[in-house]
Structure 1
Amino acid sequence: MLTPLTVTVAVAALLLSAWCGYAAVREQPVKDWHYLGMAVVLLLTVAQGIVAAVALAGGERPAGDGTGVFVSYLLAVVLCLPLVAIVALGERSRWGSATVAAGALLLAVLQLRLADVWAGGTGG
């Protein structure tokens, strides 16, 4: 898997989390520019999904027997922000911003786990 892309997604997700967390602390709802930030991070996750799908189709596999787990984490990575955005749309208060911050933080953690599964780690 492409490590620079994984790191880029994780850093972008952490920046989004900090940005939306700051908005939540200031008691602000999710604004249009937050959704733009989510779209940028989402495009990075979709690119990561495409790169991983091409790698899997080309015969590359995670170390060990982690292909099923890897694909599950990859789907979770791609679906994380759209689900968070839907929840934030319904919650037009500071809690919408807090939800996006938590979801983006989760996305960064998923990146670590995705890289761990690809390398053959069990996480235990």
Structure 2
Amino acid sequence: MIAPLTVAVAVAALLLTAWCAYAAVRDQAVKDWHYIGMAVVLLLTLVQLGVAAVQLARGERPDGDSTAVFVSYLVAVVLCLPVVAIVSLSERTRWGSATVAAGALVLAVLQIRLGDIWAGGVSGG
């Protein structure tokens, strides 16, 4: 995995978390600007997925026997924001913003876990 890309996705997700949490505290629903922010973070996750797919196709593997776990986390990373975006569309209150903030925070944590798995960290079992 490319560490700077993983850090960039995590930082972008944390910024989105703070932005949407601020909107929730101010009793605001998710606005178009928030969706643009989600799209930017999603684009970064898609780039990360592509880089990881190329690395796996070249024969590079996470340390240990955790390729399936790594791929599962990659899929979860890519699906995280679209799922919360759909939920926020149906919840046009401050709770929609809170849902996006929570989903973006989960995405940042998943980035830490992806780096850990690639480096041969504990596979969760």
Residue type at the aligned position of 1:99: T
- How many Å separate the matches in 1 of 2:115 and 2:66? 11
User: Which residue is 1:80 aligned to?
Assistant: 80
User: Which residue is 1:107 aligned to?
Assistant: 107
**In structure 1, the residue corresponding to 2:120 is in which secondary structure?**
coil
**In structure 1, the residue corresponding to 2:47 is in which secondary structure?**
helix
Matched, 1:120 2:114: no
Residue type at the aligned position of 2:122: T
Report if the CA contact (8 A) 2:69-2:123 is conserved: no
Runs of 4+ in 1 over 2 A off after TM superposition: none
- How many Å separate the matches in 1 of 2:68 and 2:75? 11
Mark the CA change 1:106 to 1:85 in structure 2 (over 3 Å): closer, same or farther.
Answer: same
User: Which residue is 2:33 aligned to?
Assistant: 33
Mark the CA change 1:110 to 1:26 in structure 2 (over 3 Å): closer, same or farther.
Answer: same
Q: What is the total number of aligned residue pairs between the two structures?
A: 124
User: Which residue is 2:57 aligned to?
Assistant: 57
TM-score (norm 1): 0.99
RMSD over aligned Cα, in angstroms? 0.8
Residue type at the aligned position of 1:31: K
- How many Å separate the matches in 1 of 2:9 and 2:28? 25
- How many Å separate the matches in 1 of 2:115 and 2:89? 31
TM-score (norm 2): 0.98
- Superposed displacement of residue 19, structure 1: 0.1
